[in-house]
Amino acid sequence: MRIAVQAESDANESRVAATPETVKALTALGAEVAVEAGAGRKSAIPDEAYAEAGAVIAQGPAAAAAGADVLLRVRRPSAAEVAGVKPGAAVIAIMDPYEHIDALQSLAGAGVSAFAMELIPRITRAQSMDVLSSQANLAGYRAIIDAAASYDRAIPMMMTAAGSVQPARIFIMGVGVAGLQAIATARRIGGVVTATDVRPATKEQVLSLGAKFIAVEDEEFAAAETAAGYAKPMSPEYQAKQAELTASHIAKQDIVVTTALIPGRAAPVLITAEMVRSMRPGSIIVDLAVERGGNCELSRPGETVVSENGVKIIGNLNVAGRVPATASFLYAKNLVSFLQPLIDPASHELAINWDDEIIKATLLTRDGALVHPNFQAPADAGVQAAPASEVAARTAEGEPGPQAPDPAGAPAKTKKARPAKDSNPAGS
Ligand code: NAD
């Protein structure tokens, strides 16, 4: 079996889908691994390191893909980039499937089985494959590092002969995977940290990290978590109370990191322009939800906006990719965890159990068709549609229908235009 790893064609993508460590793991599964020359350059992995781990270095994407049973990527490849793989080869990447049906149709037309890593279900068995978690964790860390680097003052308290420096007050809004890591990092560098969320379970997590929890804790708050562990959209009444609380708190903060998301919807706006006006000059807002519309009214994807009163609002994209070597290390391990059960230990060939719930949740295309019920081509689109019976069966088994919110936190339509090149949800 041959596994190919291509270099990422998006100039803004710094991650790579394999490391020397995972090349060894894949080789141990009985595979020959081909890595495109230069694939690891932006993650500080030279070709020689891959070669030493047992990979064949291929010159160019076509040479890497030629004859491959499996193609590993960070972002969704084009049909041209998968040309040359074996018919039915598994193409595994962060596919960013929402609003990109055309691209999925092309992959279907190329005859590959395309798997979207961001659709891995959040079940215990799949934790080691969960790219949303591995990348969000790094994004939370990096948000604090970016904030500290842009902040004109020191973060920790310092008692010096010249005078005492007060610690920075850091407020984390949204305490999921990214928010928890942001709290931990902010505490490590000496900030005085507060945090908020609408899910009651987060209160204890915040306190256990040594931060203070601030929230409107009413009846709606008590019921704000879905069975899957995500936040529900809050009522206008709750949002008004939350805004009042946020307004008084935020005026006293030096750094605010926002991470609030609701599956299948645009990110909730938690910081209004008026709240930004209440902050002191030099304060920082890092909006990790910017790719999904943003939690701050003034944030812009890929930009740092400076408000009239001198508040910097940072809207970096692909924030996990700003820690590329670590992001690649974790992403590549997620891929090995996903791929290992798909390989027969005796024959070393692909042996995919199409009925497995992880496979069903992530498989987008198979045998020339778009097969995921959430991503169906229009009837006249030219690519064979999945049989209606198969879609009905999948939906009956509890998978969300085409219009349902996505359990894995898929991007919703955003209130601001987002550049196509930076629509990677796992970088958020
Ligand atoms: P997410 O990215 O969907 O959202 C980030 C945070 O924003 C969440 O904590 C959410 O409650 C919060 N939020 C939403 N609306 C808000 C608002 N109006 N105000 C303030 N905060 C708001 O979340 P996530 O990081 O993907 O985590 C979601 C859940 O999944 C958590 O319960 C987490 O523990 C769980 N999880 C489970 C697994 C697993 O079992 N394998 C893995 C990772 C995460």
Q: Which helix (H) or strand (E) holds 394?
A: helix 388-396
What is residue 155's DSSP assignment? S
Q: Give residue 280's Cα distance to chain centre.
A: 31
Q: Which of 78, 127, 208, 347 is catalytic?
A: 127
Q: Residue 228's pLDDT is what?
A: 86
DSSP 161-180: TTEEEPPPEEEEE--SHHHH
Cα distances from 301 to residues 46, 240, 290, 298, in angstroms, run 31, 26, 6, 10
Q: In the structure, which protein residues have their CB atom closer than 6 angstroms to any atom of ligand 1?
A: 122, 127, 130, 132-133, 136, 173-179, 196-199, 202, 229-231, 234, 259-263, 268, 270, 409
Q: Are 195 and 175 in contact (CB under 8 A)?
A: yes
Task: Tell me which residue has its CA closest to atom 23 in ligand 1.
Answer: 176
Name the pLDDT band for 379 (thresholds 50, 70, 90).
low
* pTM for the model: 0.89
* CA 129–ligand 1 middle distance (angstroms): 17
Q: Which of 50, 151, 230, 331 is catalytic?
A: 230
Name the pLDDT band for 95 (thresholds 50, 70, 90).
very high
Average pLDDT, the chain: 90
Q: Residue 389's pLDDT is what?
A: 35
Torsion of CA 388, 390, 392, 397, to 10 degrees: -170
Please state, in angstroms and rounded to a whole number, the distance separating the CA atoms of residues 62 and 240: 55
127 classed as catalytic: yes
10 classed as catalytic: no
**43-72: average pLDDT:** 98
* CA 358–ligand 1 middle distance (angstroms): 20
For ligand 1, pick from 122, 237, 337, 338 the residue to mutate: most ligand atoms within 8 Å of CB.
122
